[in-house]
Amino acid sequence: MLHLLYECRRHNYSKEGISFFTPDEFSQQLAYMKHPQGKLIKPHVHNAVERNVQFTQETLVIKSGKLRVDFYTQEQDYLESCVLESGDVILLAAGGHGFEVLEELEMIEIKQGPYAGEMDKTRFEGIKSNQVRIKGH
């Protein structure tokens, strides 16, 4: 059972070295890296390792604009929302989510494939604008 539903990181996050935001068992890993000039990272290849992925996890990188993300439990109950801006990143690990574009948006989405079409997701009615609770407010 996944306890962490999402991991939001603002564009101004900074910490020396490598910081993983996700537990080792997640099928998608999210890390932040800050290294000094001249740091060498040894060349490497990734080995073939069979993995069993049951849920799609997706990462969004906001290039420009503003996006409100609404978080829901797996049972479709609303939890809270957060607003992402240029340079922010989020990992949607479990539960449900919906979006409202608050300013013209460019973003990159990274997730597992192959895409299973309509079998990949269950759509449901989200919250109304007057029900939004912004995380940290």
User: Over the stretch 44-86, which tens digit does the pLDDT of each residue have?
Assistant: 999 999 988 888 889 999 999 999 999 999 999 999 999 999 9
What was the pLDDT predicted at 6?
60
Q: Establish if 137 belongs to a structural domain.
A: no
3-state secondary structure of 51: coil
**Cα dihedral 16/3/95/86 (nearest 10):** -10
Q: How many domains does the chain have?
A: 1
pLDDT at 108 over 70: yes
pLDDT bucket at 7, cuts 50 / 70 / 90? low
- Enclosing domain of residue 72: 6-37+51-115
- The pTM for the full model equals 0.80
- DSSP strands (E only) in 15-133: 17-20, 31-34, 58-72, 78-85, 89-92, 96-111
Mean pLDDT of 11-18: 87
Q: Establish if 122 belongs to a structural domain.
A: no
Percent above pLDDT 90 for the chain: 52
What is the C-alpha separation between 125 and 102, in angstroms, rounded? Answer: 19
Question: 58 CB contacts (<8 Å, ≥6 apart)?
Answer: 28, 91, 92, 109, 110, 111
Q: Establish if 123 belongs to a structural domain.
A: no
Q: Establish if 106 belongs to a structural domain.
A: yes
CB 70 within 8 A of CB 97: yes
Q: Establish if 76 belongs to a structural domain.
A: yes
Radius of gyration of the chain (CA): 17
What is the C-alpha separation between 30 and 61, in angstroms, rounded? Answer: 11
What was the pLDDT predicted at 80?
93
For the domain that residue 92 is a member of, what is the CATH number? 2.60.120
